[in-house]
């Protein structure tokens, strides 16, 4: 099975900061990589699909890049509503998997 | 409007059986996969499995194969997650989510809509 590893597991940042989260797959997954945001007590929300496509309604400060095994989620200017946990997910194989998550906290 | 509405919270004892549900509306239920995702308290998301209600094609994570059963009743646009004998370690929030069909039998797409979650508590 394909394993997904996210780093860091948590980070502290200030409003306005540029934030980068990485996700690494244990084998090539082409561009079948998705990113989700989850706030406490809420269901996850799709942000980015196919590594770099922005889901409808998601602010343009979110962007994704990468292919093969290494991927990045970037928030260009962190806003108060962006403090949350972010997960990557590979949808390359029939049996999908999520990364362990990255919690973005207020500095 | 696409909606996935899950059944309410459950409190069960170890060894009991349970079936939770996820009702889809606002789209063609038989044309999208429905997946189930577990989130244990304070932990991350775990992909459990998916079902295609159109033909009941079902795929499981090896971690959950044999531990749960995923099914669907397309006549009432509802998917299910079922346990025959619950354990304390099944205590978690369970989410259902919709996944577009990427191609014939393909599962390369993301979960684009999610249910609100069903909290399952298993305690003696």
High-pLDDT (> 70) share of chain A, %: 100
- Strand positions, DSSP E, A4-106: 4-7, 10-13, 19-25, 33-38, 45-49, 53-54, 62-67, 70-75, 85-90, 97-98, 102-106
What does the DSSP assignment read for B14-33? Answer: TT--EEEEEEEESS-GGGEE
Residue of B nearest to A46 (CA): B112
Please tell me whether residue A81 adopts helix, strand or coil conformation: helix
**The pLDDT of residue A24:** 98
Question: For residue B103, what pLDDT is reported?
Answer: 73
B58-66 average pLDDT score = 96
- Quote the CA–CA distance of A106 and B58 in Å, as a whole number: 41
pLDDT in the model for residue B102: 77
Q: Is the pLDDT of residue A81 over 80?
A: yes
pLDDT at A103 over 70: yes
C-alpha separations of B102 from A29, A92, B16, B26, B107 in Å: 15, 11, 37, 20, 6
Q: Provide the shortest C-alpha distance from residue B110 to chain A (in Å).
A: 6
Mean pLDDT computed over every residue of chain B: 96
- The dihedrals phi and psi of A12, each to the nearest 5 degrees, come to -115, 135
Q: What is the mean pLDDT of residues B70-86?
A: 98
Rounded to an integer, the average pLDDT of B52-74 is 96
Residues of chain A above pLDDT 90, percent? 96
Query: What is the predicted pLDDT for the residue at B105?
Result: 67
Cβ atoms within 10 Å of B85's Cβ, excluding its own = 11
Query: Mutating which of B42, B44, B97 best tests the A interface, going by the most A Cβ atoms within 10 A?
Result: B44
Mean pLDDT across B95-99: 97
Task: Kindly provide the b/e burial profile for residues B20-33, where b requires at least 16 CB atoms within 10 angstroms of the residue's own CB.
Answer: bbbbbeebebeebb
Residues of B within 8 A of A92 (CB-CB) are 108
Residue B2 has pLDDT above 80, yes or no: yes
B58 touches chain A (CB under 8 A): no
Contact assessment for residue B25 and residue B5, using Cβ atoms and an 8 Å cutoff: yes
The pLDDT-based confidence of B106 (bands split at 50, 70, 90) is confident
Cβ contact, residue pair B47, A89, below 8 Å: yes
Please determine, for residue A19, whether its predicted confidence score (pLDDT) is greater than 80.
yes
| pLDDT, tens digit (0-9, with 9 covering 90-100), for A1-15 | 999 999 999 999 999
Q: How far apart are CA B33 and CA B51, in angstroms?
A: 5
């Amino acid at each position: 099975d394909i394993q997904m590893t996210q780093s860091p597991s948590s980070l502290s940042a200030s409003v306005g900061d540029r934030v980068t989260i990485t996700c690494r797959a244990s084998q090539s997954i082409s561009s079948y990589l998705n990113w989700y945001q989850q706030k406490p007590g809420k269901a996850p929300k799709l942000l980015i699909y196919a590594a770099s496509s922005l889901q409808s309604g998601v602010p343009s400060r979110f962007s994704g890049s990468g292919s093969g095994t290494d991927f990045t989620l970037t928030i260009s200017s962190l806003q108060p509503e962006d403090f949350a946990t972010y997960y990557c997910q590979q949808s390359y194989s029939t049996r999908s998997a999520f990364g362990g998550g990255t919690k973005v906290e207020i500095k | 409007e696409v909606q996935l509405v899950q059944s309410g919270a459950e409190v069960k004892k170890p060894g009991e059986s349970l079936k939770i549900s996820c009702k889809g509306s606002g789209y063609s239920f038989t044309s999208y996969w429905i997946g189930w995702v577990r989130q244990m308290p304070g932990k991350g998301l775990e992909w459990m499995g998916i079902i295609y209600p159109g033909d009941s094609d079902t795929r499981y994570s090896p971690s959950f194969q044999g531990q749960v059963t995923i099914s669907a009743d397309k006549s009432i646009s509802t998917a299910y997650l079922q346990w025959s004998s619950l354990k304390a370690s099944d205590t978690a929030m369970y989410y259902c989510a919709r996944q577009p069909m990427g191609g014939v039998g393909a599962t390369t797409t993301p979960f684009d809509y999610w249910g609100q979650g069903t909290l399952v508590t298993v305690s003696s």
